Amino acid sequence: MTTSTKALAGALILSIVLPPPLAFAKTPVSTGTGGAVATISEKASESAIAILNKGGNAIDAAVAAAATLGVTDPFSCGIGGGGFMVIYLAKDKRVVTVDHRETAPAAFSPSVFMENGKPIDFDTAVASGASVGVPGTVRGWHEALERYGTMSLKQVLAPAISVATKGFTVSDTFNHLVADNEKKFQQFTSTSQLYLKNGKAVPAGTVLKNPDLAKTYRELGAKGYKAFYQGPLAQAIVDAVNRPPLAAGVSVRTGNMTLADLANYEARIRQPIRSTYRGYDIYGMPLPSSGGIAVAEALNILEGYDLKSMPRANVEHLYLEASRLAFADRNAYLADPEYVDAPVDGMLSKQFAAQRRSLIRADKAAAVVAAGDAFLYENDQSFPLRPRQGVIQQEGLHTTHFTVSDKEGNIVSYTFTIESWGGSGIVVPGYGFLLNNEMTDFDFTGPAPNIPEAGKRPRSSMAPTIVLKDGKPAFTIGSPGGATIITTVLQAIVNYIDLGMPMDQAIDAPRLSQRNAKETSVEPGFTGSAQAKALEAFGHKWEASPPPEEIGAANAIVFNPDGTVTAVSEVRRHGIGTALVQKRPH
C-alpha cells in the first residue's frame, strides 16, 4: 500500500512504501580500472559513474555527485552552502583549487550574535536568518565546469534531477539526522513540510521526493549559474534570510542579506598548499581553509621522527602532540587571506616545524600549548602582528567529502557543506534546499584573525587532499567533521604512510582528535580499550562526555602501482559509504 499526503502547494509528496531491494550490496571498497568514486551516498556514487560512462571527466562527475548529495544528504551539503575543491589536471600535471566558501553579507558585523556584550547561545545563533552566509556552491560548480570540465551544467545535473523527482528511500541514518533536528526544523514551515511528517522525522523506508529541488536544478541547467544569483531564485533566498518562513508563535533572529550580496559573489581559483612528507607531495586547500596548512605543519613536525620503527602507541602519542601544536598556530594566525596577512610560508617551513617539534616530550602529553612565532620563519618579517592565544571555538561538525577520478587520471577531492546538521534549518520556500549557518564559523570573541567582517569568508577546517609520489597520483583523502577534519585527514595519512595500513584500515581505525585542548575527542567505545589505556600511560585524557557519534566520514582513492585504482569509503561510519569503479576485474 502506498499512502500520499499533500501539504501546501509545492510541498513535498511523501510516499510510504517498503524499501525497494538494493541493486547491489553497498561496496565501501572497490578496485578496478578507469574512473572511480567514493562517497557516503549510493545514489551520488552512481551519478558520478553514470557521467563517467557517458564520457564526462572527473570534474563533470564530481558536480553530478555533489548535486545528488544535495538530494540524498541535504543536512550536510547542498546549493545553499559552499565548499572547497582540489583538482589534479592530468594533462598539465598540476593541481588547482576552487574556493567557493560562503561570504558574509555586506551588512554583517561582529555584533550580530552578541547580546549585552556576550555571545548568544550557539543553537539560537544557528537557527536564524542571521547565520546564513552568501552561498557559493553553484558559482563553484560553474567555475569548475567552465574551466576544467567537458559537460554543461544541464548535463551533469540530470542524474540528481532524476533522484529528486523519483525519490530515494530514507535510511536509518537520514531518519536519525532529522529526528535530532526536529526542534530546529519545526520552527520553519518550509522545512517541516519537506522533512517532517506530523511534526516528526520522516520514517526510515519512506520514499522521499523533492520536486522543488528538481525544479531548481532544471532552472539552473536551463539558465546557468546566474539564475541562482539574480532573479526570482535570488529574491527567494533573500526573503528566506530576512523574513524566515516561521511557524506560528516562533521568533528567530533575521538576517540582512541583499540581492547585491548575491550578485557580487565570486568564487576564487587559488594555488594549492604544497608540502612534502617522506617522499610524497601533499597538496591541500589554502586559506580561507586552515585544513591544508594545519595538516602540512603537523606532518612536517612528525617527519622528524622515525615512526615506522615505533610501537603504535608511541606513534599515536606523537601524532596527537603534533596536532596539538598545529592547532595552536592555526587558531592564532589563520583566516581569510583577503583580510588577514597570515605567516603561511613560516607555518609551512621545515625550520618552524623543527622548533615546534622540540617542545614535544616523547613520554608525556602536554596540556594546552601556546602558538609559536611563525613570522620569524617568513621571508618577509615585517609583519607587526604577533599571535594572541586563540580560544577553541565551537565549529559545526557536519559536512560531506567525496572524491572522483577518471580514466585520463584527473582527480577531484571535494569537501562542501552547509555547516551544522541541517544548516540554519531554513528551506528556501518553493526551491527545496536548506540554507547554511556558516556565519557561526567566525570567532565572535575577538580580537582575532577570524573575526566577522563584511564580505569576509569564515575560516574553515576543510582539508580535501591530493597526494603525489614521483610526480604521479598516489592517493586522495578528505573528510567532514568541522575542526576534526584536520585530525581525521592527518591520522589517515599517518596510518597509511607510517603505520603501513591499507587505506580501508587507515580510514576504519578509531579516530583520535586533539585540537589543543586538555582532553582528546574520541569515538564511542574507545575509552577503556587497550589502545586507550596505552595512550593514557603518556598522560592523554579523553573528553568526559564524548559525543554519541563517529568522527568524520572519510573517502579516498588509492592509485596502485599496477595501474588499477582502489576507491575507499567508510566500512561502518555514517551508514557505510559507496565506492565504485568503472571496470572491475573479472
Place of cell 539526522: 177
CA distances from 202 to 169, 170, 172, 332, 577 (A): 11, 8, 10, 43, 22
DSSP-derived 3-state class of residue 385: coil
Q: Is residue 199 part of a domain?
A: yes
- The pLDDT, as a whole number, for residue 116 is 86
CATH of the domain at 113: 3.60.20.40
Continuous segment of H or E residues that includes residue 200:
strand 200-201
Q: Is residue 336 part of a domain?
A: no
CB atoms within 10 A of CB 249: 6
Q: Is residue 220 part of a domain?
A: yes
- Residue partners of 396: CB distance under 8 A and separation at least 6: 126, 417, 419, 420, 421, 437, 440, 441, 482
Cα–Cα distance measured from residue 357 to residue 156, given in angstroms and rounded to the nearest whole number: 47
Burial readout 479-508 (b: 16 or more C-beta within 10 A, e: otherwise)? bbbbbbbbbbbbbbbbbbbbbebebbebbb
CA distances from 479 to 89, 397, 413, 430 (A): 22, 10, 10, 31
Q: Is residue 415 part of a domain?
A: yes
Pairs from 229-236 (Cβ < 8 Å, separation ≥ 24): 229/138, 229/139, 229/262, 229/263, 229/265, 230/259, 230/262, 230/263, 233/428, 233/431, 234/259, 234/262, 234/263, 235/259, 236/428, 236/429, 236/430, 236/431
- Residue partners of 448: CB distance under 8 A and separation at least 6: 335, 388, 390, 391
Q: Where are the alpha helices (DSSP H) in 225-276?
A: 226-229, 232-242, 259-263
Q: Is residue 165 part of a domain?
A: yes
- The pLDDT, as a whole number, for residue 446 is 72
Continuous segment of H or E residues that includes residue 189:
helix 189-195
The catalytic position among 68, 97, 399, 566 is 399
Q: Is residue 383 part of a domain?
A: no
Cα–Cα distance measured from residue 308 to residue 313, given in angstroms and rounded to the nearest whole number: 12
**Ramachandran angles phi, psi of 81, nearest 5°:** -130, -140
Q: Is residue 78 part of a domain?
A: yes
Burial readout 563-582 (b: 16 or more C-beta within 10 A, e: otherwise)? ebbbbbbbeebbbbbbbbbb
Q: Specify whether 399 is catalytic.
A: yes
Output the DSSP codes for 559-576: E-TTS-EEEE--SSGGG-
Cα–Cα distance measured from residue 463 to residue 290, given in angstroms and rounded to the nearest whole number: 8
- The pLDDT, as a whole number, for residue 481 is 87
- The domain total for the chain is 1
Contact 277, 303 (CB under 8 A): yes
DSSP-derived 3-state class of residue 340: coil
pTM of the model: 0.93
Mean pLDDT by runs of 10 across the 586 residues of the chain is: 32 30 64 96 96 98 98 95 98 98 95 86 94 98 98 98 97 92 96 94 95 98 98 98 97 97 98 98 98 98 98 98 97 94 96 98 96 88 54 55 97 94 96 97 85 95 97 96 94 98 97 96 93 98 80 95 96 88 82
- The pLDDT, as a whole number, for residue 14 is 31
- The pLDDT, as a whole number, for residue 282 is 98
Structural domain containing residue 516: 3-268+394-583
- The pLDDT, as a whole number, for residue 201 is 95
CB atoms within 10 A of CB 266: 11
Cα–Cα distance measured from residue 110 to residue 150, given in angstroms and rounded to the nearest whole number: 42
- The pLDDT, as a whole number, for residue 25 is 53
- The pLDDT, as a whole number, for residue 549 is 76
CA dihedral for 185, 62, 579, 494, sign (positive or negative):
negative
- The pLDDT, as a whole number, for residue 139 is 98
- The pLDDT, as a whole number, for residue 5 is 31
Q: Which three cell numbers, joined as nine digits, stand for 507?
A: 580510514
Q: What angle do CA 554, 555, 558 make, to 5 degrees?
A: 130
